Amino acid sequence: MPQKFAFTTAAMAAALEETTVSYEDLADIERDFDDAETDIIRKQVLLTVPLYSRRSKTISQIPNFWPLVLEQAPPDIDQYIQPSDSALLLSSLQNLSVSHFEIDSEDGSRGDPRSVSIRFEFAENEYFEDTVLEKKFWYRRSRDGWAGLVSEPVPIKWKKDRDLTGGLLDMVVKAWEADRSSAKSTGSGAVKPKGGLSPEQKALKKKIENTGMGGLSFFAWFGFIGRQVSAEESAAATALERQKRAQREARKNSKRKSMERSRSSTPSSDGEEEEAAGEGSDDDVGMSLEIFPDGDDLAVAFTEDLWPGAIKYFTQAQEQDALSDADFESDDDEDEDLHEPADDSEDEDERPAKKKQRSE
Of the candidates 82, 119, 99, which has an alpha carbon nearest to the alpha carbon of residue 220? 82
Q: Toward a copy of itself, which CB reaches closer, 3 or 268?
A: 3
In whole angstroms, give the CA distance from residue 199 to residue 197. Answer: 7
Of 6-14, 96-104, 118-126, 158-166, the window that binds a copy of itself (rule: CB under 8 A) is 6-14
Judged by CB under 8 A, the residue of 81, 156, 299, 301 near a copy of itself is 81
Query: Does 48 participate in binding a copy of itself (rule CB under 8 A)?
Result: yes
- Binding mask 184-223 toward a copy of itself (x if CB under 8 A, else -) reads ----------------------------xxx-x-------
Decide if residue 96 touches a copy of itself (CB under 8 A): no
In angstroms, what is the minimal distance from the CB of 127 to a copy of itself? Answer: 16
Cα separations (Å) of 243 from 144, 240, 272, 300? Answer: 15, 5, 15, 29
Q: Which amino acid is at 168?
A: L
The phi, psi pair for 158, rounded to 5°, reads -65, 145
Max Cα distance, the chain (Å): 81
DSSP state of 346: G
| 4 half-sphere exposure, CB direction, 13 A CA radius | 0
Contact with a copy of itself (CB under 8 A): which of 61, 109, 266, 281? 61
Considering only residues 24, 25, 144, 279, which one is a binding residue for a copy of itself as defined by CB under 8 A? 25
| Shortest distance (Å) from residue 212 CB to a copy of itself | 6
* CB-CB contact of 156 with 128 (8 Å): yes
312 binds a copy of itself (CB under 8 A): yes
Q: Which of 53, 58, 131, 181 binds a copy of itself (CB under 8 A)?
A: 58
Sheet holding 132-141, edge to edge: 93-99, 116-122, 132-141, 147-151
**Which one of residues 105, 109, 264, 357 is an interface residue with a copy of itself (CB under 8 A)?**
357
